[in-house]
Amino acid sequence: MIVAAVALSSSCGGDRRAASAPAGAGASHDVDRAAIDPSVAPGDDFFRYTNGAWLKKTEIPADRSSYGVWAQLRDLAQQRTHELVEAAAAGSAAAGSDERKIGDYYASYMDERAIEERGLAPIRDQLTAIAAIADARALAARIGDSLRADVDALNNTNFHTDRVLGVWIAEDLNDPSRNVPFLLQGGLGMPDRDYYLQPGARMDGLRAAYRSHIAAMLKLASIADADGKAARVFDLEKRIAQAHATRTESVDVAKANNPWPRDDFGRRAPGLDWAALFRAARLDRAPTIIVWHPSAIVGTAALAGSVPLATWREYLTFHAIDRRAAVLPKAFGDEAFAFYGKTLAGTPAQQERWKQAVDATSDALGEEVGKQYVQKFFPASAKAQLQQMVANISAAFDRRLDALTWMAPKTKANAKAKLRTLRVGIGYPDAWLDFSALSIVRGDAFGNAERAEAFEYAHQLGKLDARPDRGEWWLTPQTVNALNMPVQNALNFPAAALEPPFYDEAASPAVRYAAIGAIIGHEISHSFDDQGSQFDADGRFTNWWTPEDLAHFKEASAKLVAQYNAYMPFPDLHVNGQLTLSENIADVAGLSAAYDAYRASRGSQSDAQSGDDRSFFVSYGQTWRAKRREELARQLVLTNGHALEEYRADSVRNLDPWYSAFDVKPGQRLFLAPPDRVRVW
Ligand SMILES: [Zn+2]
């Protein structure tokens, strides 16, 4: 599962952005003129105009399913993290110290010989416990005991877990002064219900490959009747998938805001011994649980009551092995990659072990690694300057709100209140998570992975007893991405994303505002879009718009849905304009606010000092530079909330200054008549 998770990172940045030079070293502080393809008219295909020469000469590395500026920045962050963890592994820091934990985690993951020698011994206890499930109560307890905080409904919008259910702990949508658990659907090995249910030869092929993968994993573990078990496991997952909500339904908070009293679960979702499950999951102290996917919870509970226990044991056995493939003997990792990496994402070759180990360490000890990362790689001066840019772009948003003619005065006041209280985190959190309760044992890669996830789960459970922290971070500093957290009314911009070409102190304002400025604008826009309008300044789930405001917004967004639905990445597949709506609005609005802030920042400067409109838009187009393999592109079109990069670059067609900058004329492919250009804010 690790392979798929890496390829599918899906928060707001979601693999966007492009570089004018290899990230970090030797950046030119300007747009990349050599990447432009002058044979393409900007008005016909802006993505290929700005990136065409780069696209022609760039091959996706064999161990990747995609490549582009985000990948380049991730490489940079990974190299730096590698330096840190290697130094920690080689050093002799005191037992129990931060550095020692990082070093021991990494060294254990790298010690493939020890992993090989231990064979299946580390997972034996789990498999024995699963084999001992003899009644409904034991099944429920086992499911509960295996739950982890591994999904995120609103911040990172990660709806996938191969555990039977997903747990997320965050502010109560209806009372943001307290934290509550959220229960999400789960239990699938493949990325989404569509993979189980959508007809067609392609999906039939993937389903057959997944059944073979299940059988292969069981055979590797010397489990008898692997093919028979694989068929039954697959069939159970297919039935779980039938109960699942679609990806589009999953982002509809109104459908998801279902607070169920804990004692009501048995009545509302019969089939599972919920008391046993909650006790084992340590959720039995929460009086209320918000059920994000009610029909899936009901459906899954019914399957727990109706599918034979033997099938559940087979299913739990497969997933226990499958999710830990990376820290079991090499044959398991290779088989997991063959399916999740090669077949599902189209990646020809597996990442080198050290890269996997760096990422695993960085996941398991997120802020522990992050603390060291920012000490070494993120200067305080950068933080101060970026805070100023954030202030300028917020001011641009504020002016755009003032200028809106369609929004009711009361709605405007609410929007401005939200903007005023928006909490913007730059680089890293104000307070660091304390890892002293986590034990990392050198030579026990499997146990370390288990303990790190259990530690994170305990940390999340601990939030049930604490006041919500609006300064909480949902990305580590070494992550290349950015986030809007609607209930916290807060943004995260991790240090690793604040690097050239996104953030380059020496670049002209035009280039800078189009790069990091558009990202900042994108994230701010989420506070006011179809999702953000449902959360007030305190994070309460309440609509602060009048019906007229909503009608106008829907009209504007319907145009954007149609604009994106018309894009056809493949002859048989179009972009899902509804699924990607929030992100597309954020792109258009973020770019617009960044443009305003850039113009305002010019003062009396000349083009030579501040850059011109052409370099602004080219800089933006180049930040989307990316290539993807077809398998991954198709997977993302079906499941991801973001449109593919090339269409995100083309969002420039909604801004009037783009037309004058490139003399775009009617009849050109991207030309929109002025009334069809979408302006939400
Ligand atoms: Zn976003």
Q: What is the pLDDT of residue 649?
A: 97
CA distance linking residue 218 with residue 315, whole number of Å: 10
CA distance linking residue 226 with residue 217, whole number of Å: 8
Query: Could you tell me the distance, in angstroms and rounded to a whole number, from the CA of residue 489 to the centre of ligand 1?
Result: 14
Structure tokens at 162: 């191969």
- What DSSP string runs through 498-520? SSTTTS-TTS-HHHHIIIIIHHH
Query: Could you tell me the distance, in angstroms and rounded to a whole number, from the CA of residue 581 to the centre of ligand 1?
Result: 10
Residue 503 confidence (pLDDT) above 80: yes
CA distance linking residue 241 with residue 251, whole number of Å: 17
Q: What is the pLDDT of residue 3?
A: 23
Query: Could you tell me the distance, in angstroms and rounded to a whole number, from the CA of residue 11 to the centre of ligand 1?
Result: 7
Contact indicator for 296, 243 with CB cutoff of 8 Å: yes
Structure tokens at 1: 């599962």
Write phi, then psi, for 573 (nearest 5 degrees).
Answer: -145, 125
Residues 6+ apart with CB under 8 A from 267: none
Residue 492: strand, helix, or coil = strand
Structure tokens at 673: 């008549």
Query: Could you tell me the distance, in angstroms and rounded to a whole number, from the CA of residue 8 to the centre of ligand 1?
Result: 15
Query: Could you tell me the distance, in angstroms and rounded to a whole number, from the CA of residue 526 to the centre of ligand 1?
Result: 7
Query: Could you tell me the distance, in angstroms and rounded to a whole number, from the CA of residue 44 to the centre of ligand 1?
Result: 26
Query: Could you tell me the distance, in angstroms and rounded to a whole number, from the CA of residue 17 to the centre of ligand 1?
Result: 13
Structure tokens at 27: 């950046």
Strands laid side by side in the 259-261 sheet: 165-172, 175-185, 288-291, 259-261
CA distance linking residue 560 with residue 677, whole number of Å: 9
Residue 672 confidence (pLDDT) above 90: yes
Query: Could you tell me the distance, in angstroms and rounded to a whole number, from the CA of residue 294 to the centre of ligand 1?
Result: 26
Mean pLDDT for 378-407 is 89
User: Which of the pair, 154 or 14, is modelled with greater confidence?
Assistant: 154
Query: Could you tell me the distance, in angstroms and rounded to a whole number, from the CA of residue 357 to the centre of ligand 1?
Result: 28
Query: Could you tell me the distance, in angstroms and rounded to a whole number, from the CA of residue 653 to the centre of ligand 1?
Result: 19
Q: What is the pLDDT of residue 28?
A: 62
Query: Could you tell me the distance, in angstroms and rounded to a whole number, from the CA of residue 436 to the centre of ligand 1?
Result: 34
Query: Could you tell me the distance, in angstroms and rounded to a whole number, from the CA of residue 523 to the centre of ligand 1?
Result: 6
Query: Could you tell me the distance, in angstroms and rounded to a whole number, from the CA of residue 577 to the centre of ligand 1?
Result: 14
Strands laid side by side in the 490-494 sheet: 423-427, 490-494, 483-485
Q: What is the pLDDT of residue 5?
A: 26
CA distance linking residue 659 with residue 480, whole number of Å: 32
CA distance linking residue 318 with residue 91, whole number of Å: 38
Closest CA to 18 of 81, 79, 66: 66
Q: What mean pLDDT is reported for the chain?
A: 92
Query: Could you tell me the distance, in angstroms and rounded to a whole number, from the CA of residue 633 to the centre of ligand 1?
Result: 18
Residues 6+ apart with CB under 8 A from 440: 100, 101, 104, 105, 108, 365, 448, 451, 452
Q: Within 10 A of 117 (CB to CB), how many other CB atoms are there?
A: 10
Closest CA to 370 of 502, 463, 480: 480
Task: Convert the pLDDT of each residue in 323-336 to its tens digit.
Answer: 999 999 999 999 99
CA torsion 383→385→387→391, rounded to 10°? -170
Contact indicator for 153, 182 with CB cutoff of 8 Å: yes
Query: Could you tell me the distance, in angstroms and rounded to a whole number, from the CA of residue 529 to the centre of ligand 1?
Result: 10
Residue 140 confidence (pLDDT) above 90: yes
Residue 345 confidence (pLDDT) above 80: yes
Helix 445-462 vs helix 353-364: angle between axes, to the nearest 10 degrees?
30
Query: Could you tell me the distance, in angstroms and rounded to a whole number, from the CA of residue 654 to the centre of ligand 1?
Result: 18
Closest CA to 474 of 464, 462, 461, 460: 460
Secondary structure letter of residue 263 according to DSSP: G
Q: Name the region of 282 (left: φ>0; alpha: ψ -120 to 50; beta: rest).
A: left
Query: Could you tell me the distance, in angstroms and rounded to a whole number, from the CA of residue 528 to the centre of ligand 1?
Result: 12
Residue 14 confidence (pLDDT) above 80: no
Query: Could you tell me the distance, in angstroms and rounded to a whole number, from the CA of residue 583 to the centre of ligand 1?
Result: 5
Residues within 5 A (CB) of ion ligand 1: 12, 583, 586
Query: Could you tell me the distance, in angstroms and rounded to a whole number, from the CA of residue 184 to the centre of ligand 1?
Result: 21
Query: Could you tell me the distance, in angstroms and rounded to a whole number, from the CA of residue 656 to the centre of ligand 1?
Result: 23
Query: Could you tell me the distance, in angstroms and rounded to a whole number, from the CA of residue 645 to the centre of ligand 1?
Result: 13
Q: What is the b/e burial string over 436-446, where b = at least 16 CB atoms within 10 angstroms of the residue's CB? A: eebebebebbb
Which residues on neighbouring strands pair with residue 424, listed in sequence order?
491
Query: Could you tell me the distance, in angstroms and rounded to a whole number, from the CA of residue 531 to the centre of ligand 1?
Result: 11
Amino acid at 80: R
Query: Could you tell me the distance, in angstroms and rounded to a whole number, from the CA of residue 482 to the centre of ligand 1?
Result: 8
Q: What is the pLDDT of residue 135?
A: 98
Query: Could you tell me the distance, in angstroms and rounded to a whole number, from the CA of residue 334 to the centre of ligand 1?
Result: 33
Helix locations, 463-580, DSSP H: 509-512, 518-525, 547-565
Q: What is the pLDDT of residue 290?
A: 98
CA 355 vs. chain centroid, Å, equals 19
Residues belonging to the chain: 681
Query: Could you tell me the distance, in angstroms and rounded to a whole number, from the CA of residue 117 to the centre of ligand 1?
Result: 45
Q: Within 10 A of 295 (CB to CB), how many other CB atoms are there?
A: 16
Query: Could you tell me the distance, in angstroms and rounded to a whole number, from the CA of residue 58 to the centre of ligand 1?
Result: 27
Give 493's pLDDT tier (boundaries 50, 70, 90).
very high
Query: Could you tell me the distance, in angstroms and rounded to a whole number, from the CA of residue 483 to the centre of ligand 1?
Result: 7
Mean pLDDT for 123-149 is 98
Query: Could you tell me the distance, in angstroms and rounded to a whole number, from the CA of residue 358 to the centre of ligand 1?
Result: 26
Structure tokens at 364: 């398991």
Amino acid at 67: Y
Sign of CA dihedral 497, 501, 504, 509: negative
CA distance linking residue 71 with residue 632, whole number of Å: 14
3-state helix vs strand vs coil in the chain, percent to 5: 55, 5, 35
Structure tokens at 540: 């309460």
Q: What is the pTM of this model?
A: 0.84
CA distance linking residue 309 with residue 313, whole number of Å: 6
Closest CA to 16 of 671, 651, 656: 651
Segment among 293-302, 317-326, 542-551, 582-591 with least mean pLDDT:
542-551
Mean pLDDT for 567-585 is 93
Secondary structure letter of residue 338 according to DSSP: I
Place of tokens 């826009």: 525
Contact indicator for 433, 476 with CB cutoff of 8 Å: no
Residue 273 confidence (pLDDT) above 80: yes
Query: Could you tell me the distance, in angstroms and rounded to a whole number, from the CA of residue 216 to the centre of ligand 1?
Result: 38
Mean pLDDT for 372-390 is 89
Query: Could you tell me the distance, in angstroms and rounded to a whole number, from the CA of residue 28 to the centre of ligand 1?
Result: 28
Alpha carbons within 13 angstroms on the beta-carbon side of residue 223 total 24
Query: Could you tell me the distance, in angstroms and rounded to a whole number, from the CA of residue 326 to the centre of ligand 1?
Result: 30
Q: What is the pLDDT of residue 315?
A: 98
Query: Could you tell me the distance, in angstroms and rounded to a whole number, from the CA of residue 484 to the centre of ligand 1?
Result: 7
Task: Convert the pLDDT of each residue in 621-643 to its tens digit.
Answer: 999 999 999 988 998 898 888 99
CA distance linking residue 40 with residue 564, whole number of Å: 21
Query: Could you tell me the distance, in angstroms and rounded to a whole number, from the CA of residue 524 to the centre of ligand 1?
Result: 9
Query: Could you tell me the distance, in angstroms and rounded to a whole number, from the CA of residue 521 to the centre of ligand 1?
Result: 10
